[in-house]
Amino acid sequence: MSEQTEPVSQIETDKTEGQENTNVSEEYAYLDRGGFSSENFKIELRGLPKFYGIAELKKLMNNKLGLNTSKIKRPKNGSHWLYACFQNDEERTKAIAALNGYYWKGKTLIAEAAKPAPDPLVRKRKQEEDGTQNKKQKEGENKSQEERLKDAVTPYWDMPYEDQLKVKEHEIKNLLMKFDNDVWKIHKEKRGEIESNRKIYNGLSFELKPIEKSPITEGYRNKCEFTVGIDDETEQPTVGFRLGSYATGTVAVAPVSSLNHISEKMKKAVLVFQDFVRQSNMAPFSPADYSGYWRYLTVRESKSSGDLMLIIAMYQQDLTTEKMEELKKQLIEHFGTEESVACNIKSVYIELITKRRAGEDGSKPFHLTGSTHIIDTILGRQFRISPQAFFQTNTAGANILYQSAIDMSQVKSDTTVVDICCGTGTIGLCFAKHCDKVLGLELVAEAVMDAKANAELNGIKNCEFFTGKAESILPSVLARVTGNDVIAIVDPPRAGLHMRAVTQLRNTKKVKRL
């Protein structure tokens, strides 16, 4: 019997190995589809210092060492290793030669060629077929589409609002305690004062006030970016939110009707555009193979007027100029219907997505129909909102945020307010009636134009706005200050304020409060 069963066992083994090889080749098939993939020319960079910034590392690589990195992928902030991607093998080889053994910030770097990552979408499908998903994946599969969507978009959806505030307050306190401990370690002369204050302020050396609640907890979002994709239940083109990221192995999109942070008006506008997508017979864009046209829909809503702005983003792909012009006409006609008017859709833009090259700003929205902007109100001030303008996504929350900043700053009639990374001027313009002068700094020229228009819209005369990098123009702006009471407001993008700007603020004796 053993002689008969042995060959069978061998055949099964060969079959399994063949399946594994097929699975592996499918997971890397995306590399051979044509077109550029950063995964083809990737390096792993190890031995990085404890403190560094991505912008700082890019400057080292691209400016000082003359490399041409197209993307840097770091697993988390402060990680001692990361991936850097390049345009071709020659550039990758040059990078390895330049970086391997390079001494930077007290550390010797190690650079090696890295293998491309498997396609997460294909890997997940194989895991489902083989039944090899992990516990978290299996739990997700047992949930309804609606529950998975809520988990992805509003992770605290099943927690009472009061409990949400407690969780967030606990996280903030832990973060501040870490900061407090760092101050204790560095400033030995202040340890007695810190320890004394900790007995008063429940473990912190300063007072932490309770979180200011949002006055509304439903339909509060004034801006949402919806993905155009395929609903995994109906298999229909759908405008909604992704159930997960591509990295987690899903590109499915679910409808937004069950989500409570979006207004009913915004939901109706989404359905109006969804009708057009389905009637167009043009497929949604697929991140798996880069085919298809429709990518996403951004909806902006004025909470004061109820007006909506829509920005439709798509890939032109093989559409001729003539076909694109015809499509634009169809969109204008579609958004002129009674249904669109009932939703208060007052402004429509289209954005043709193009591949952005290093140093380029990327594609910009083109105005299709209606007004060029909508207007919303914060603390009695009106602000025009253009497609790419930054505006707090919770208008009611912004009223509380800005009023809190005004109250805590102890601003006086002779105070000069320096608003760093001012965007469209919302914070500074809300301060304007309480102070002598507002000086705003902003990198994006279009935002500065909006800030000046907002000042004019509100009849505000004591504000000036300047274009440039904060670290470059801050000294000259501060030199314009004549008074001795200066408040600096810092509300930078996620990357944070440049260290040079921080140093300049610390060295400016006129700045009394931050």
Q: Which residues are annotated as a binding site?
A: 392, 442, 491
Q: Do 388 and 225 form a contact (C-beta atoms < 8 A)?
A: no
CB proximity list for 12: less than 8 A, separation 6 or greater:
none
Separation CA 295–CA 84 (nearest Å): 27
Buried b (16+ CB within 10 A) or exposed e, 135-156: eeeeebeeeebeebbbbbbbee
| List of E strands, 393-505 | 416-420, 437-442, 463-467, 486-490
Q: Which residues on adjacent β-strands are paired with residue 254?
A: 241
Q: Do 229 and 254 form a contact (C-beta atoms < 8 A)?
A: no
Q: Do 384 and 454 form a contact (C-beta atoms < 8 A)?
A: yes
Residues annotated within the binding site for S-adenosyl-L-methionine are 392, 442, 491
Comparing C-alpha atoms, which of 433, 313, 469, 452 is closest to residue 389? 452
Separation CA 39–CA 25 (nearest Å): 15
Encoded tokens for 482: 């004549």
Other beta carbons within 10 Å of 444: 17
Could you say which DSSP state residue 283 is in? P
Q: Tell how many helices (H) and how many strands (E) occur in the chain.
A: 16, 20
User: What torsion, rounded to 10 degrees, do the Cα atoms 468, 473, 474, 480 define?
Assistant: -120
Comparing C-alpha atoms, which of 343, 359, 361 is closest to residue 307? 343
- The sign one gets for the Cα dihedral 237, 372, 359, 107 is negative
H/E element, 501 = helix 499-507
Q: Do 71 and 58 form a contact (C-beta atoms < 8 A)?
A: no
Other beta carbons within 10 Å of 415: 21
Other beta carbons within 10 Å of 7: 9
Q: Do 318 and 293 form a contact (C-beta atoms < 8 A)?
A: no
| List of E strands, 216-344 | 223-230, 237-242, 253-254, 294-301, 308-314
CB proximity list for 278: less than 8 A, separation 6 or greater:
236, 237
Burial class (CB in 10 A: 0-12, 13-18, 19+), 325: exposed
Encoded tokens for 465: 């706005």
Q: Do 457 and 382 form a contact (C-beta atoms < 8 A)?
A: yes
Encoded tokens for 256: 């937004």
